[in-house]
Each structure stands twice: as C-alpha cells, then as structure tokens.
A = this chain, B = another copy of it.
Amino acid sequence: MTDFFKGIEPIRYEGPDSTNPMAFRHYDPDEMVLGKRLEDHLRFAVAWWHSFAWPGGDPFGGQTFERPWFGDTMDHSKMKADVAFEMFSILGQPFFCFHDADIRPEGDGFAGNTRNLEEMVDHIGTKMEEVGTKLLWGTANLFTNRRYMAGASTNPDPDVFAFAAATVKTCMDATHRLGGANYVLWGGREGYETLLNTDLGREDAQLGRFMNMVVEYKHRIGFEGTILIEPKPQEPTKHQYDYDVATVYGFLKRHGLEDEIRVNIEQGHAILAGHSFEHEIALAAALGIFGSIDMNRNDYQSGWDTDQFPNNAPEVTLAYYEILKAGGFTTGGTNFDAKLRRQSLDPEDLVAAHVGGMDVCARALKSAAKMLQDGELERLREARYAGWDTEQGRKLLAGEWGLDQIADYVRENEIDPEPRSGRQERLENLVNRFV
C-alpha cells in the first residue's frame, strides 16, 4: 500500500440525496436495469495514461502534477501500477486500459521496451488477481516517441513501419496474456502534417497491410477479443486517416476488414469530426461495426479535444440510448479517456473526477433505459417510416422498378406528397421527461 490516497475511503453508493462528495449518488453496481447489473451494462474502465502518466502540461506550460511515481525506472513503473490498483479498488472500477508506454519505462530500443513490458505485465497480472480488476483493452503507443513523428505504419521509412509492427505484436501478446477483452489501435500519427510531402496512395496501402497483419496475428495466437480502431479526425496530425466512423468503414471495406475490425468511439473525437457522439454510435451500429466507447467530453467553446470528464447527463443519455438500442456492449465498455484539468493537483481530485464521471454515466444509462422501456420515442420513429412497410413502399426498394417505371407511376397517380411535421421539439421534450 502506498499512501497516495491516504484518507480516501472506498466509494459507496449513497443515493441521489447524498451530499457526500466522495459517494456515488447514481451508480449502484448491483442495481438491475433491463435485466442486467448496472456494472455489467457500463463496464467502466480507468485509462492508465491520463490518470497516472500525464504530467499536466499544456502547450504553454510544463508539468503541474508532482507524483512520487514520475521517473524512468522500473520501480517508478511498479509504484505507478500499485497506485493505479489502489484507485481501481477505491472506485470499484471493473476494468482498466493501457498503452505499453504507460505501464513500462522507455527501454533501450525494441528489445529493451519488450523486456520492460513483459516484466510489468507480470507485475500487473499479479495485481489483477489480487484486486479483481480486469483489462478492457490494451494498445501500443505509436505516437509519443520521436521515431513516430512522421507516422507509424504510414511512415515514409519502412523501418518505422517495422518497429511499429513489432511493437504491436508485443502489445497484443501482453493484452492476450492479461485476458484483455479487446485490442485497440488509435492512429494518432497515421495521417499527415502537409499534403506537400505525402503520398496518400502509398500510405493507404501501408495502413491496409498493417491492419491485415493485426487481424492475422490475432487469429494466429487465438486472441478472442475484438480488434478496434479508434477514429479521430486530426490532432496530433493535421489530417488523420481514421477520420470518423464513416471513413473507417470505407477503409475496412477497401481492405476486406469489415467483418474483423470494429470501432472504439470517443466523444471528443466525434465532436472534433463535426458529429455528435450519438451519431457516431448510431452510425457504427447501422454499419455493423460498433465496438466500444471512450467516454469524455470535448470543449465546444474552444473546439479542442480536451478529454474532460463527462458532466452533462442529458448528452450522455443520448449516447447510452444508442448503445442500448444496439443491444448494449458485448466485449466493449466505457473507458474514461478523460484527464484532470491541470490545476486539479490533489489525489482527491483524481478520485472525485472519476466518481463524478461514473455517476453521470450511471444516471444517463438509467435514463436511457427508461426511455427505451417507455417506448414512445421508438413508436414515433417507426410511425414516421410506416409508409415504407406498405406493399408500395417495399416495391420501390425491391429493385424491380427503375426511374422510368417510377416516373410513370408518379405521373399516372398524380403523386404529390404533402409534408408532415418532423416533431423535433416534441421529441426533445419527450427526452427531457427522462433526463
């Protein structure tokens, strides 16, 4: 036991009227919702990087956090892991997520990195057994080290491609060994800074081969988790190839991967790409590639991907509504890819931020479940499309008629449709009954 969280007791559910800032007011893991425990619906995960590895810098200022585990040695990494599991325990978070670079010190090249990673995987595996926390997903950090500055698999230098591939292999091994439910690829440097030095065709071919190797390797080692791509339109690069759900879908189709890879959708990335979070979830569900979510919130005002903890229950409700409508998570879950504001220096801030985030999500999922059970919203949606379920509606889509037959039909029957109200405000009012 470190003493980092000294004085902070495990967080308990105390109900909506509690004024205890270190209690859950909405998240009772054992509450049954739509026939499933809340914990099993939400499948919360802590993100190792933001909570334990981020020093608090921004483009105009350096480190603000002073954590005893900041440092480059294996001992630092182990202390970091120990503190992490203490927090998982305090919060009762069932899962965590990591990049290799979060959990191990930087080694001497690939061999050193691998050695450090393996040793830390042992350490973490032991802690997982002790504490009972599971791994939602692992991933490789292919963006921080300067070797990746011009891309990982899409680098103009094939040696970087090779280094990245080798690194992903070790991270898939680590994830497999720790029983991860998914493996994620976020292509933070897979894109470009300037089109002037970029060959889009070559880089697409590189990325396509890379992803195919990931899928092949998954099958070779018998990893049964889901492979997930996390879309993001830009930042750090000016343009990233995994722009949004629709773009990733096109990439998967082009490279024959649409049945093998799904998406991990982050709220902040959806916003950054000009979409709502619920849009990206609904679209992925419609395309059959919905996997998991990174829960955070963007700053609408600045437009930046600020990775703040979610705090707006009505917005989060719409996201979980789409998830529940799509059948809920299978291997996926709710990963808090969220970081403290850099002024939030205290250990209490770190715990409280997660408490608040978990509570917002729990409240939102319960609202979404009630809205789904109520059924009015779905009844209204279906009623709107009812014409398509008539014989005439089906015929139009069936492929028998072409434009000219339809033109005859419209002319002969003097079809002249009258518009009907879209009822947006009434639907929004309906939602407000539940949030």
A118 within 8 A of B: no
In the complex, the answer to whether B202 meets A385 with C-beta atoms within 8 Å is yes
| Contact yes or no, B416 A147, CB < 8 A | yes
- Residue A1 at the chain B interface, CB threshold 8 Å: no
Considering only CB atoms, which chain B residue lies closest to A147 in the complex? B417
The interface residues of chain B lying within 8 Å CB-to-CB of A401 are: 213
Cβ–Cβ contact B163 & A424, under 8 A = no
A217 at the interface (CB under 8 A from B): yes
**Once the chains bind, are B195 and A282 in contact (CB under 8 Å)?**
yes
B403 near A60: Cβ-Cβ < 8 Å = no
- Cβ–Cβ < 8 Å partners of A244 in chain B: 247
Measured between beta carbons, the chain B residues less than 8 angstroms from A2 are none
A373 at the interface (CB under 8 A from B): no
Does the CB pair A149–B410 fall under 8 Å?
A: no
Structural contact, A341 and B424, CB atoms closer than 8 A:
yes
CB of A216 within 8 Å of the partner chain? yes
Whether the pair A429, B21 counts as a contact (CB closer than 8 A) is yes
Report yes or no: B425 in contact with A209, Cβ–Cβ below 8 A. Answer: no
Contact: A64 with B343, CB < 8 Å? Answer: no
With a cutoff of 8 Å between Cβ atoms, the chain B residues found around residue A163 in the complex are 410, 415-417
Shortest Cβ-Cβ A-B pairs, 5 listed: A250-B250, A343-B422, A356-B429, A353-B425, A166-B407
Chain B residues contacting A424 (CB-CB under 8 Å) are 193-194, 196-197, 341, 343-344
With a cutoff of 8 Å between Cβ atoms, the chain B residues found around residue A58 in the complex are 59, 236
Cross-interface CB contact of A403 among B145, B147, B168, cutoff 8 Å? B168
Supplied contacts A311-B432, A341-B422, 15 more A-B pairs, CB within 8 Å: A21-B429, A109-B416, A110-B414, A150-B343, A162-B410, A165-B396, A194-B341, A196-B428, A197-B424, A216-B403, A220-B404, A303-B303, A341-B424, A345-B419, A356-B425
Stretch touching chain B among A38-46, A124-132, A151-159, A260-268: A151-159
Q: Which residues of B contact A340 (CB under 8 A)?
A: 425
Inter-subunit contact B421/A387 (CB<8 Å): no
Q: What residues of B have a CB within 8 angstroms of the CB of A286 in the complex?
A: 200-201, 204
Query: Contacts of A392 on B, CB cut-off 8 Å?
Result: 158
Give 1 or 0 for each of A241-260: 1 = CB within 8 Å of chain B CB. Answer: 00110110110011000000
Chain A interface SS verdict (over half): helix
Say whether A344 contacts B421, CB under 8 Å.
yes
Chain B, Cβ-Cβ closest to A201: B286
Task: Decide: A402 near B213, CB < 8 A? Known: A61-B145, A61-B148, A419-B343.
Answer: yes
Contact A159-B426, Cβ < 8 Å, known A59-B235, A60-B144, A407-B169: no
Report chain B residues within 8 Å CB of A348.
426
**A253-B250, A393-B158 given; A146·B419 CB < 8 A:** yes
A168: chain B residues at CB < 8 Å are 403
Q: Evaluate contact between A301 and B313: CB separation under 8 angstroms.
A: no
Contact partner of A21 (CB less than 8 A), chosen from B21, B170, B346, B426, is B426
A209 x B406 contact (CB < 8 A): no
Is B239 a contact partner of A406 (Cβ separation < 8 A)? no
A301-316 vs B, Cβ < 8 Å mask (1 yes, 0 no): 1111000010111110
Check if B301 sits within 8 Å of A274, measured CB to CB.
Answer: yes
Q: How far is the CB of A163 from chain B (nearest CB, A)?
A: 6
Minimum distance in angstroms from A90 CB to a CB of chain B: 15
A300 at the binding interface (Cβ < 8 Å): yes
Residue of B at shortest CB range from A386?
B156
Which chain B residues border A388 with CB–CB below 8 Å? 156, 158, 202, 206
Q: Is the CB of B432 within 8 A of A313?
A: yes
Nearest CB in chain B: distance from A183 CB, A: 12
Say yes or no: is A299 at the interface (Cβ < 8 Å to chain B).
Answer: yes
A61 to chain B, nearest CB (A): 5
User: Is A337's beta carbon under 8 Å from chain B?
Assistant: no
Cβ A279 vs Cβ B195 within 8 A: yes
Residues in chain B near residue A404, CB distance under 8 A: 169, 217, 220
Q: Which residues on B sit within 8 Å (CB–CB) of A197?
A: 380-381, 384, 422-424, 427
Q: Does A409 count as interface, using CB distance less than 8 angstroms?
A: yes
